[in-house]
Amino acid sequence: MKRTLTFLLFGALLIYADHATRRPFPGMSRLTIRILDESGKPTGLRLRVTNSAGDYFAPLGHLPNPDVTKHSAGDVILGDEAENPLEVHALVYDSAQIDLPAGHYNFHASKGYEYQTIDESVDVTPDKTSIVKLPLRKFADFEARGWYPGDIHMHFPDPSGIRYEMECEGLRVCSLLLLKSGYKTGRPGDGHFENVEHFTGKLSPVSDANYFVQVGEEFRHGLLAHLIFQNLKTIVWPVSTGGLRESGVGGYDWPLMLHAADDAHAQGGLVTWAHWPYPSLEAPLDIALGRIDSIDLLTTGNPFAHHPILVDVYKMRGPEVYSKAPIDVYYHYLNCGFHLAASSGSDKMALNPPMGSARVYVKTEGPLTYNSWIEGIRKGHTFASDYPLIEFSVDGKEAGETLRLAPGKVRLHVKARAQSLEPYEQLEIVHNGSVIRTVKPAGEHFTAALDESIEIDRGGWIAARAHGPKMLQYGATWWKMPVFAHSSPIYLDMPGRPADARESACLFLDQLSYLQKWAEEQANFPTPQNKSEALQKIAEARAIYLKLRMPL
């Protein structure tokens, strides 16, 4: 009942033809599109209809050339306007309709990462009403094994629009994030809020037993961090701090991101570092003091190289750690012994990128609920992906779990497998930041598998990742990312033989010195007591890294 009401409220223009026009124009044929999942139930998908010349035809209720910058649901635009022309795709539900002139057409359809892509050839004759069936078939069923995909980061559009699009994109859980920006206001510099009107502190009414939408928050500072808060009961104010970009002219650099994370955790919230590592000056403080549950490994750009725009936007100059690739910085934190789950979200704000372009798969304990999914991330039962699907275990342990080992050389039984609709170059096993095994994919779904005994002589962590050189075109530079997936680590507890954290600790001590200098000389604190508290927290984190820097 809730889903039916959702679609009615969202607007029949996105689903059904305008019944005021009961016949197509002369010379056109009206086709009804039937979309059923593997169990025979009506559902939605992403569709592009083209003729033999490659021209796009929009289903009824969709525009042939929507504005990529607009906040409206129902369409997706792919490409980058440079190397790859822009392509419009419509998000349609079962019984959508389309009017076409006579000719030969291709119906290209997709739904998430587990369904086989559909390419259906259709010949249309004049003045004929017919049905086009687009049957969905899963080539990999991760949900049957308890893994459920979600998108933790979007500012687009509203809950009912999200509910519609998420089913078309094969997602189960989505978080719409409220935020405050320092721009776009009648009085420049005051800032404005987005999506606050949708916050209720509980599941959105558009949710049902299978799909979950809840409004969370992106707490932001232009130098320190952007943090994602999910499962909030109340808003963490002031939502943004600092200056013009996030909070407005003359804003205080207070509270610290650490304090905001405390407020989120106090109400059962989950804290994720958004679009890692942009920005991240406060990261060595918050991570060392246990305020961060997970890291968003994808979203913007390439985990193996810095984003050319965001480095400048967030003034990421100075600390040596900023010269390291984002994925390597994540590894340095893991080498310090911190437990940080892999997560991801699209940061969708317009028609490009698609919802779920970067997503996190979460293994839940028991049936899927919003709470079981959030707790799955908290426990690290995850992998982040923009296409590859990863299975990974070590001695029967899965992502997020801890394997206890006796000191000395030990052999581990490692199993890993990856499949993908998009090509990638290798499946890798990573131990304490070093690749220790590589397998090449082959076959229709680029399948790579490993099942062997691996010897190690040190604890720390171990994870699986799949990646390749192909870049997914979700914009010329902003959302351009490689085909990539990464599991959360399995932690290896070997008494007296942890991962070597000396280099990592030095990097973070250096970064803390820049944070301390900022707090002493530049930060705008409301009171001297706030400044003293910030410096005290930095000193606490410094003591942790100084201990980690000591010889093993």
Phi-psi sector, 40: left (phi>0), alpha (psi -120 to 50), beta: left
Residues 197, 202, 206, 210: is their CA dihedral positive or negative?
positive
Q: Do domains 2-133 and 388-499 have the same CATH topology?
A: yes
Q: Is 4 helix (H, G, I), strand (E, B) or coil?
A: helix
Give the model's pLDDT for residue 187. Answer: 65
Q: CATH for 140-385?
A: 3.20.20.140
SS (H, E, C) 186-252: CCCCCCEEECHHHCCCCCCCCCCCCCEEEEEEEEEECCCEEEEEECCCCCCCCCECCCCCCCCCCCC
Instruction: Give the number of other Cβ atoms within 10 Å of residue 83's Cβ.
Output: 10
pLDDT in tens, 6-19: 443 344 334 333 44
Which pTM was predicted? 0.94
Give the model's pLDDT for residue 185. Answer: 61
pLDDT under 50 in the chain at which residues?
1-20
CATH fold of the domain at 2-133: Immunoglobulin-like (2.60.40)
Give the model's pLDDT for residue 72. Answer: 75
Quote the distance between the C-alpha of residue 199 and its chain's center: 20
Give the model's pLDDT for residue 453. Answer: 97
CA-atom Rg of the chain in angstroms: 24
Q: Percent of the chain scored above 90 by pLDDT?
A: 83
The full set of domain ranges for the chain reads 2-133, 140-385, 388-499, 502-549
Give the model's pLDDT for residue 2. Answer: 41
Give the model's pLDDT for residue 267. Answer: 98
CATH 2.60.40.10 describes domain 388-499 = yes
| Distance of alpha carbon 455 from alpha carbon 346, whole angstroms | 37
Task: Tell me how far apart the terminal alpha carbons of the chain are, to the nearest angstrom.
Answer: 61
Give the model's pLDDT for residue 344. Answer: 97
